[in-house]
Structure 1
Amino acid sequence: MLQAEIKSLLKEDISILIKVPNSAKHYLCDCGEASLLTVKEVQSVSAVFISHTHIDHFSNFDGIFRHQIGSGEKIVICGPKNIHQQIEARLKSYTWNLIDENAIVYEIREIVSREEINVYKIHPPHWNLELIKTQNFLFENEYVNVDFAILDHKTDSIAYLFKEKDSVTFNENASEFKKGKWISELKTAFENNDSDKEIQIEETVYRASAFFHLLTRNTGYKLGVIMDHAVCEDNYEKIKTVFKGADLVYIETFYKDEDQEFAKINYHSFASASGKVMNECEVKEAIPIHFSRRYVESDQLEIETAFYKAFQGN
């Protein structure tokens, strides 16, 4: 199951680390101050997901990069329109005369629209952008695929949904045969819906479908991160489309209900509004995050109380 940890304290800029079970590679959502984020964790990050490039979500990019340079790894960065130019500008602001061209590679994926993702490559020492291709999906590997919604925050703000790949388990207690490579072959046939696949077990060949009843498909865990967004119906329709039925969602809840006029002016959300849309999405668990720095711990408690009251439909 995917696990998320908030790495920033109450008055710090937001950053969330997402850990993948059985993998040494993690994902980072936004690059806020994040004093709880360790160097070791930064070095384990294989992909960074930027919601938008307001300073409180992007200010620590240089600090993250500082601990990745020299790894020789390819790091993926996903973000809104023009993210490639902003990354390039940050990297070119330093002197790189002592850095080898193989020290690191960034693959930047610019979200132009739901169907258009521009993929760029950039590496030292000159950090010149190269457009590689345009694709219609954002991110997928053997562990997860990542869906997204483009929300309005008076600029594009990307909300991300991390969907763990479905898994198939074998009920060995219900089988009379010895374990062997046939089980993995059976799982592959099941995942490919290949009923006629021939499976050899102890010198006898069977149709794969004869043993499908021994398998169970486990739906992958869905974890969402929704950062800054205006309280408006268009945003909420997009959120409902992508995050409906998610297992866990962290959602921006910048203001208290009594300060919702500030939320309107600044294109942010407030406590009960965020709770209500999570209720309408029928997510299993929702957690309010990213509070205004004007607030202290007692204000955070007030926000959480109003949020959960709305989330529970009270």
Structure 2
Amino acid sequence: MVQAEIKSLLKEDISILIKVPNSAKHYLCDCGEASLLTVKEVQSVSAIFISHTHIDHFSNFDGIFRHQIGSGEKIVICGPKNIHRQIEARLKSYTWNLIDENAIEYEIREIVSKEEINVYKIRPPHWNLELIETQHFLFEDEYVNVDFAILDHKTDSIAYLFREKDSVTFNENGLEFKKGKWISELKKAFENNDSEKEIEIEGTVYKASDLFHFLTRNKGYKLGVIMDHAVCEDNYEKIKTVFREADMVYIETFYKDEDQEFAKINYHSFASASGKIMKECEVKEAIPIHFSRRYVESDQLEIETAFYKAFQGN
């Protein structure tokens, strides 16, 4: 299953690395200061997901692309409205006279609405944006597809849900045939819902549906990252729609309960509010993240205590 690692220490700006087991592929959520993020990890990132471009979520973007330039890879960047212009401005602020046009390519996916994703391409040395297409989905590769919610933080703040692809396992119990390539053919038919597919085993042809009992579908793991958001019913309805019954969710919990007036003023969440919405979403595991830099370790402990009390319904 996909795994997340917080790469920022207390009082550092937030950045979360998501890894695919048995793969060199990583995804990065937000580009805040992250002293635990290694160069090797950055160079393995194939997609970056930006919640919003406040400085504490975007300040380390330059450091990220510093270690990606020269890879020759295409890297996807997803983010809120105007993300393409902000990335263009960052890239054009440097001198690139010694960089080849094949050094890297960024594909920027601007989230305009749930149904409208504008896709841009930008490459060195001139970094001129090119609108490629408008699509209705955000991101999908061989490992995950990514859903999202557009939350209010007095600006659009994108919350992301990584849905691992379902897997199919073969059950050998009671198997009366020799294993062979027919198993992969059967799995493909199962995944394509092709019950009429003919499968040949040891000279005999079977209908795929007659063999489906050898297979089990395993639901993919669902991992969520919810960054800055105001405590309001509209945000919570969107969160419930996307993140209900997720396996694990990391959620912004910027303030202690006693500082919830600051949360209201600054369109952030606070400890018990974040815990309560996770309980209402019936997520299996929830982790509070992204605390105000005013806090020390004892404050973090207080936040976590209030969060888990609300999450567990105590």
Question: If the length of structure 2 is used for normalisation, what is the TM-score?
Answer: 0.99
Give CA-to-partner distance per residue, 1:127-177, whole Å, 9 cap, x none: 000000000000001110000000000000000000000000000233111
* Distance in structure 1 (CA, Å) of the matches to 2:201 and 2:307: 55
Distance (Å, rounded) in 2 between the aligned partners of 1:158 and 1:124: 27
1-structure distance, mates of 2:22, 2:42: 18
Distance, in Å, in 2 between the alignment partners of 1:134 and 1:305 is: 44
Cα offset for 1:22? Answer: 2.4
C-alpha distance in 2 between matches for 1:197 and 1:94: 57
Q: CA–CA distance in 1 between the matches of 2:212 and 2:228?
A: 45
Q: Structure 2: where are the runs of 5+ without partners?
A: none
- How far did 1:289 drift? 0.1
1:140 corresponding residue in structure 2: 140
SS at match of 2:24: coil
Deviations 1:231-252 (A, max 9, x none): 0000000000000000000000
Instruction: Tell me the secondary structure at the aligned position of residue 75 of structure 2.
Output: strand
In 1, distance between residues paired with 2:310 and 2:174?
45
Map 1:230-309 to 2 at 5 A: 230-309=230-309
1:104 Cα deviation from its structure 2 partner: 0.1
Equivalents in 1 of 2:267, 2:153: separation in Å? 5
Poorly superposed stretches of 4+, deviation over 2 Å: none
Query: Per-residue displacement from partner, 1:94-118 (whole Å, max 9, x unpaired)?
Result: 0000000000000000000000000
- Name the SS for the 1:173 alignment partner: coil
Q: Distance in 2 between matches of 1:88 and 1:195?
A: 49
Query: 1:257 Cα deviation (Å)?
Result: 0.1
Is residue 56 of structure 2 the alignment partner of residue 56 of structure 1?
yes
Cα separation, 2, equivalents of 1:57 and 1:236: 22
Q: Distance in 1 between matches of 2:23 and 2:176?
A: 33
- The structural deviation recorded for 1:195 is 1.1
Measure how far apart 1:67 and its partner are: 0.2
Q: Which SS does the other structure have where 1:127 is aligned?
A: coil
The TM-score with structure 1 as length reference comes to 0.99
**How much has 1:179 moved relative to structure 2?**
1.1
Query: What is the Cα deviation at residue 204 of structure 1?
Result: 1.0
| Larger deviation, residues 112-121 vs 15-24 | 15-24
Deviations 1:165-212 (A, max 9, x none): 000000023311111110010011111111111001111111111110
Structure 1 gaps, min length 5: none
How many positions carry a matched residue from both structures?
314
Say which is worse superposed, 196-205 or 246-255, in terms of deviation.
Answer: 196-205
